[in-house]
Every structure is written in structure tokens, then in C-alpha cells.
């Protein structure tokens, strides 16, 4: 697996992982376009693109193309792709792509609305197998003191469905922005489906609060150690069957998000918003079980840059 990152210089210095450089933007009708040639893709690879920028002036849309065939992700505050799409070897899953075949000449493009190209931004593109053997890693970090928030404090109609905005609210609060859960829920609402866990909307919500971040697909717990060492909590997208994560407030889940606050030798410290109240949100999970729940399938993480001082 691999991830390529592009960012404006001020954001690059605040992001704990290596940034390739800046993306070359070119003016097109309605906005600006950037393109990235992808390495060879294998069957059942996923491609996870992410874009965040300061302010609220821009929307964006990702497309993955091979020759004349292409497929797009759901646009984020931008027009949908208007041209018809031919049958593609890729599938769109709202917030990531998957590949059905071996492909050696795929290209990813990102269209950004607005009269000017983004000045402060972070673009990440991760490629990994959908399913792989998780790596629990060896790094140990301090445990961050992230104020707990239970999603069950929200109205009954949505309280079981808003783990992603609850995690974003905890992260932005920890990084110095008082963002209410209600505001974050509104930011994260995917109008087309009524769901709250669409990854790009979570990243956009954090950016609106002044916290630039990215969705990345990772394969090892050690990847997040540099973030925790710099007082940056990490949001993990987990899934597990009954008995797969001892001590969880959920018996099983096909998609849930938690805030990782620290790594110890045999355990992972998290804030789990599914707990019944704030006092029970801080949890400790077995490191091997948590790695499996998070990294075996997709391995999606919300990762954040330090706030600009």
C-alpha cells in the first residue's frame, strides 16, 4: 500500500507524515483541476482520496479514469459530473473507489470550485488492498487527555448514527475550537442518503473549524504514533463481529468511529462515543483486537495537522 500527499507549504510543515510537495492546479471552466497519475492497481485495491482546505469558499469532486472511462465520487459542495460515464473497471462507494482489475494507467483528478485555487490545503491519496493482515505495531505513545463526548446525548432519532460527527467534535475541541455536536452533525449530514459517516464531510467539518486533516487508509498502528506524539488525536473507522473487541459498548458493528488517544504495549486507549455517558467514553482495548477491528478491512483514519498559530 502507499499514500501520496500534496499540501501548501504551511500545512505540510504541520502534518506529521511526509508530503510530496504542492499540487499543480490549472484553471478550467468553473474552477481549478489537479491530476495525479496512480501507480498500478490490483484487483480489490481501494483508492481513498481526500481534500481539505481552509475556509468555506471551495467545493470539490474526485474522478478516477482509465482512458475514456471514468467514475466519480459523490461531490462535496460541487456540481456532479455532467458527462455520461462509460462502463468502468472501478466502483464508487460514496467516499472511496475500488478496482476490479489490474490497471497500470489510472489517473485521479480533483476538481475544485471557485475563482482561485486553494491556497492552504491538504490532499492525500491512499491505495491499499480492501482486506489485509493488520499490523498491531510496536510504538508506544503518551495518552492524550481528550474531553469525552457521548453520541447518546443527541436526540433519540439520530443518536445511534452520529459516531463520526461526535469524534470530529471531540478532536476539534481538543485542538482549540469549541464546536457543538449539533453543528458538527449538520456539517456531516449527507443529504443524498441521510447518513452521517461520509468521510469527506467529516474532514470538511473539521476544516470549517480550523483543523485541516485527511482521510488515509493505513495498515499499521505505528502509522499514527507521530500524530499522538504531537498531541493530535486520530479517528479510526472500525468494524467487528460479536466478541471481536472486548469491552466495547457495541456487541458488533459494520461501521463505527472512535477517537484514538494513545498506544500502550498491549492496549490502545480510545474515546468511544457509543458509551452511554461521558464518564464511560474513555476505553482501553486490546491492541491486537483493535488492530484487527480497524486495519483488516479498509483501515480508514481521520488524521489531522497541527493548527496554525
Instruction: State which of 52-56, 104-108, 288-292 shows the largest mean pLDDT.
Output: 288-292
pLDDT of 46 reads 97
pLDDT of 56 reads 66
pLDDT bracket for residue 3 (50, 70, 90): very high
Question: What b/e sequence results for 229-252 when a residue is b if at least 16 CB atoms lie within 10 Å of its CB, and e otherwise?
Answer: eeebbbbbbbbbeeebbeebbbee
**What does each C-alpha distance from 143 to 5, 194, 268, 270, 279 come to in angstroms?**
27, 34, 9, 9, 17
CATH architecture of 2-129: Sandwich (2.60)
Whether residue 163 contacts residue 184, with contact meaning beta carbons closer than 8 Å, is answered with no
pLDDT of 89 reads 80
Between CA 24 and CA 114 the distance in angstroms is 16
Whether the predicted model's global pTM rises above the 0.85 cut: yes
pLDDT of 88 reads 76
Cell of 249: 459498548
pLDDT bracket for residue 68 (50, 70, 90): confident
pLDDT bracket for residue 83 (50, 70, 90): low
Cell of 210: 480550523
Cell of 264: 500502550
pLDDT of 82 reads 59
pLDDT of 179 reads 86
pLDDT of 61 reads 95
Between CA 3 and CA 33 the distance in angstroms is 20
pLDDT bracket for residue 309 (50, 70, 90): low
For residue 294, what is the DSSP state?
H
**What does each C-alpha distance from 176 to 17, 205, 211, 260 come to in angstroms?**
22, 14, 9, 18
Between CA 151 and CA 164 the distance in angstroms is 9
pLDDT of 292 reads 98
Between CA 94 and CA 89 the distance in angstroms is 16
Would the pLDDT of 86 be above 60?
Answer: no
Residue for grid cell 464546536: 179
Domain limits, the chain: 2-129, 151-304
Between CA 234 and CA 69 the distance in angstroms is 35
The 10s digit of each residue's pLDDT in 209-234 is 999 999 999 999 999 999 999 999 99
Residue for grid cell 456539517: 187
pLDDT of 79 reads 82
pLDDT bracket for residue 256 (50, 70, 90): very high
Residue of 142, 263, 259 lying closest to 206 (CA atoms):
259
Q: What CATH code is assigned to 151-304?
A: 3.90.70.10
Would the pLDDT of 85 be above 60?
Answer: no
pLDDT of 44 reads 93
pLDDT of 206 reads 96
pLDDT bracket for residue 128 (50, 70, 90): very high
pLDDT of 66 reads 87
The 10s digit of each residue's pLDDT in 152-209 is 999 999 999 999 999 999 999 999 987 899 999 999 999 889 999 999 999 999 999 9
pLDDT of 282 reads 98
In this prediction, residues 144-148 reach a mean pLDDT of 98
In this prediction, residues 6-23 reach a mean pLDDT of 97
Amino acid at each position: 500500500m502507499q499514500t501520496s500527499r500534496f499540501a501548501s507549504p504551511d500545512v505540510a510543515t504541520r502534518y506529521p507524515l511526509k508530503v510530496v510537495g504542492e499540487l499543480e492546479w490549472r484553471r478550467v471552466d468553473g474552477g481549478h483541476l489537479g491530476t495525479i497519475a496512480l501507480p498500478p492497481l490490483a484487483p480489490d485495491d481501494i483508492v481513498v482520496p481526500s481534500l481539505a482546505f481552509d475556509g468555506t469558499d471551495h467545493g470539490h469532486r474526485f474522478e478516477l479514469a482509465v482512458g475514456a472511462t471514468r467514475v466519480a465520487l459523490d461531490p462535496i459542495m460541487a456540481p456532479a459530473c455532467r458527462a455520461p460515464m462509460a462502463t468502468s473497471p472501478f466502483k464508487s462507494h460514496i467516499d472511496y473507489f475500488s478496482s476490479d482489475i489490474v490497471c497500470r494507467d489510472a489517473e485521479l483528478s480533483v476538481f475544485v470550485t471557485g475563482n482561485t485555487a486553494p491556497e492552504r490545503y491538504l490532499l492525500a491519496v491512499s491505495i491499499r488492498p480492501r482486506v489485509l493482515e493488520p499490523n498491531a505495531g510496536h510504538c508506544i505513545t503518551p495518552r492524550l487527555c481528550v474531553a469525552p463526548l457521548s453520541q447518546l446525548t443527541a436526540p433519540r432519532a439520530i443518536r445511534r448514527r452520529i459516531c463520526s460527527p461526535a469524534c470530529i467534535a471531540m478532536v476539534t475541541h481538543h485542538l482549540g475550537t469549541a464546536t457543538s455536536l449539533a453543528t458538527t452533525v449538520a456539517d456531516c449530514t449527507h443529504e443524498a442518503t441521510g447518513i452521517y459517516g461520509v468521510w469527506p464531510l467529516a474532514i470538511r467539518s473539521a476544516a470549517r473549524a480550523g483543523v485541516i486533516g485527511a482521510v488515509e487508509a493505513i495498515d499499521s498502528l505505528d502509522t499514527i504514533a507521530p500524530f499522538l506524539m504531537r498531541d493530535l488525536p486520530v479517528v479510526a473507522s472500525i468494524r467487528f463481529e460479536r466478541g471481536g473487541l472486548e469491552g466495547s459498548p457495541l456487541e458488533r458493528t459494520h461501521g463505527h468511529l472512535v477517537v484514538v488517544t494513545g498506544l500502550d504495549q498491549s492496549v490502545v486507549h480510545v474515546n468511544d462515543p457509543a458509551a452511554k455517558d461521558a464518564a464511560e467514553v474513555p476505553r482501553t482495548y486490546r491492541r491486537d483486537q483493535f488492530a484487527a477491528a480497524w486495519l483488516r478491512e479498509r483501515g480508514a483514519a481521520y488524521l489531522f495537522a497541527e493548527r496554525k498559530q
